[in-house]
Amino acid sequence: MMWSELYYPKRWLGPLNLLLHRSKFFPPAYRQAAMDAILAEEPDVAVFTGDFSSFSLKSEFEQADELFAPLREKLGERLFAIPGNHDVYTTRVARRRVLENSLPWVHTDLVTRLDLNDRLSLLGVNHSCPFLIASNGKVTPEAQERLRAMFDVLNAEGRTVLLAGHYPYISPPEFPEANNHKLLGDDELAQVVKEGAPAVYMHGHHHIRWAVRPRITPETLCLNCGSVSMKHARPDKQAGFLSWDQQDDGEVRNLTAHTYDGKSAWAKSPVDVRVI
């Protein structure tokens, strides 16, 4: 922590929150267990939708770099990662580009394209930015313009698009987003998604695994991977991740939730898609 940041409220609130709650809810051993389980699946592609850290500290990013090293070694650019709000925790962190300097393999541009084969493209959109106290993200006109333009290009090429962002633009009714946690401009993002019609929108931020097909974007399956390292009694909140077989035409087959038992075993269960 920099002394000059002690007047920054979140620098106080955050560590206090960690002392009171966070280390209990995010046991460090869970991260390695999750990484081992992901590697055991031998994926062709892995997408990480952000929040490598709690407070954007250099030491946290160094730990993340070490943790992700085997997956990076195995997949190269096919480990596709974007930032979360916790990775740009303060304006100072963002100005000093702490994330960019610590994890240069994370895609921090507003929009990033990665072609997976001659039919499938992965698209990352970055809505993460610092807020004084809240955990929001923000849809900016520039991000919208670039995302819309990229959809135009990819759709003109006849490619299937898989979009990754940090924040949901819609949540199941029983898990509403709080005003201080939501993506500001979520309706605008939903509009661009409706027009661009990606086959999948992968996100995190809200620590619950779910799979929904929103009526407002009927072409797009929204997948929330949940937290990879949180301890919780509910299976959909407990540490885990999602896997599936992605078809070139956009179809998602064998959607599976992987849930950690907190010791050594991982349960695999099929995931039902809900229309909301």
Least distance CB 267 / Fe ion (angstroms): 25
Residue 207 binds Fe ion, judged by CB under 5 A: no
In this structure, what DSSP letter does residue 86 have? G
CB of 50 to Fe ion, least distance (A): 6
Binding to Fe ion (CB under 5 A) within 86-115 occurs at none
Smallest separation (angstroms) from Fe ion to the CB of 96:
20
Q: How far is the CB of 166 from Fe ion (least distance, A)?
A: 6
Nearer to Fe ion, 85 or 144 (CB): 85
Q: Is 205 in the site for Fe ion (CB under 5 A)?
A: yes
> Does residue 83 interact with Fe ion by CB under 5 A?
no
Q: Annotate 247-260 with b (16+ C-beta within 10 A) or e (fewer).
A: eeebebeebbbbbb
Q: Around Cβ 228, how many Cβ atoms within 10 Å?
A: 23
Strands 240-246 and 252-260 turn out to be antiparallel
C-beta of 180: minimal distance to Fe ion in Å?
12
Instruction: Kindly give the pairing relationship between strand 209-213 and strand 183-184.
Output: unpaired
Please identify, using beta-carbon distances, which residue of 167 and 260 lies nearer to Fe ion: 167
Which residues have a Cβ under 8 Å from the Cβ of 234 and sit 6 or more positions away?
208
- Interface mask (CB under 5 A) for Fe ion, residues 41-70, using x and -? ----------x-------------------
Element (H, E) at 94: helix 91-95
Which residues face 123 on adjacent strands? 113, 163
Choice from 84, 196, 198, 240 touching Fe ion (CB under 5 A): 84
Task: For 14-79, give the DSSP string.
Answer: HHHHIIIIIHHHS-HHHHHHHHHHHHHT--S-EEE-S---SS--HHHHHHHHHHHHHHHHHHGGGE
CB of 137 to Fe ion, least distance (A): 8
Please identify, using beta-carbon distances, which residue of 110 and 134 lies nearer to Fe ion: 134
Closer of 84 and 196 to Fe ion (Cβ): 84
CB atoms closer than 10 angstroms to residue 46: 19
How far apart are CB 181 and Fe ion at their closest, in Å? 8
Cβ distance 260 to 197 under 8 Å? no
- Using CB under 5 A, count the residues that bind Fe ion: 4
Tokens of 21: 């709650």
Identify which range of 36-44, 81-89, 181-189, 217-225 contacts Fe ion by CB under 5 A. 81-89
| Contact region with Fe ion (CB under 5 A), list: 25-33, 205-213, 218-226, 241-249 | 205-213
How big is the chain, counted in residues? 276
The answer to whether the Cα torsion of 109, 114, 145, 182 is positive or negative is negative
Q: Is residue 85 part of the contact set for Fe ion (CB under 5 A)?
A: yes
| Smallest separation (angstroms) from Fe ion to the CB of 215 | 25
Q: Which stretch binds Fe ion (CB under 5 A): 102-110, 141-149, 200-208, 222-230?
A: 200-208
The residue (of 159 and 206) whose beta carbon lies closer to Fe ion is 206
- Residue ranges that bind Fe ion, judged by CB under 5 A: 51, 84-85, 205
